[in-house]
Structure 1
Amino acid sequence: MDSIRNIISGKKGLIVGIANENSIAYGCASVLRELGAEVAVTYLNAKAEKYVRPLADKLEAPLVMPLDVEQPGQMQQVFSDIEQHWGKLDFVIHSIAFCPMDDLHGRVVDCSRDGFQQAMHVSCYSFVEMARHAEPLMKDGGSLITMSYYGADKVVENYNMMGPVKAALESVSRYMASELGPKGIRVHAVSPGPLKTRAASGIAHFDQLIDDAIARAPQNKLVDIEDVGMTCAFLISNAARSLTGQTIYVDGGHHIMA
């Protein structure tokens, strides 16, 4: 851990998606902060702020900003605040996703147009938009990381419409890696195994999905948010300087099993 600290310390980044202490985004933020990075964080709305603020205090976050990616102007303001405070940016971790419950619990073939567009906007297009705003601040290169899931590649029962949405997100990551590579900006999708987060609780029969993941994974255990955070720390570090455009599975080997 000390060796990673040496190449993470002093880096400055934005982490989007903290809802509570069980959030993947918080796991990433806490690991990165422990390793010496500075983190700016966002909260969805006033209701969410009361849960995020105490966590931001633990992280010693110098910037705690509202960000609802569906609200015009908020993302621009986030990056403007970062530019004014830091003048640069080393990494962004995008850990947000949303799908209307009726669409998530129904067949893909039956999903509504509005629901599909909203899921794509929040879960996928917002990463593109963040990359566009981050690009001019990553003057010395940087890392853009988003969160995917095994259901992007294989059909996972009850994951439904989020499967195609996450597949689009992984594809977007590869194309942005190609486009931003000449500027030293690396782009990755990290694909954790199932985690007991608030967002995952909306998936039907999620407990069964958890049990199946434990049974199928070669390590016969779930990963945790710290595992995801350590992976992101490596990807952000210069030790991963020659890696880009990949989907990195952090799932105890679950994805290799037939």
Structure 2
Amino acid sequence: MATTGRMGFRMAGNPGAGERVKKVLKAAVRSGTGAIGSVRAVRTTQPHVVLTFDDGPDPVGTERVLSTLAEHATTATFFVLTERVARFPRLLAETVAEGHEIALHGFDHCRLTRFRSREVVARVSGARRQLEDTLGAPVRWFRPPFGAQTPSTWRAIRRTGLEPVMWGPTAWDWLDEPVRDLAARAMERLVRGSILLAHDGYAGDPEQPSGIAPTFDRGELTAAVLEGIAERGLRGVSLADALAAGGTAERWAWFRR
């Protein structure tokens, strides 16, 4: 017997009803949580996908990613750790020189949800000053390690003058799996305006230091991802370039520990 849910859709005998409910709920969340939202996609008429790379700079991974991006005339946004910037300033300078956008991932890779709000402000604002002093330019975006964010840390990040940026599809490239498998994962939910999460380094979890860094070639993975993007008639760009081309940042809530 067919039943009707609260949203007014007939749930039985209609295979598409569940998907319609999901779409309605997703739209409601997006429209209702913008005031406390993080950037999670870009609304654009251009064939753009936003490429983002976390956890660098890394003397192996970053070099290979930069080389691949240059070969494809593609820009990206790099969310960097300032403890690594201090160790590899030349890599940061190279990334900037090749036209990429620099954003902040933190001083280190600790989950901010472990700290009180006051300490989050101190850690993020200190890392921001350090990065901007090195760059000689302002930084706009922040991505919390692991995407770990609560309403309290979101408010703390906003108090530093930065804006949280999360993601949609991801390559799951903290796992040591075949490149083609990782690239296929990156394509699973990728559409125009998606913000794609990838990594040019491996920071792991400081609370579980036994983690082992993946051994695949990050340049090779980047090439496979760009190939998949191109097959869909899309093009990878940095967040700054997507917005400069007329895109609008889409914000809705992202909270998880």
TM range (shorter): 0.3 to 0.5
- Give the TM-score normalised by the residue count of structure 1: 0.34
* Bigger Cα Rg: 2
* TM-score, scaled relative to structure 2: 0.34
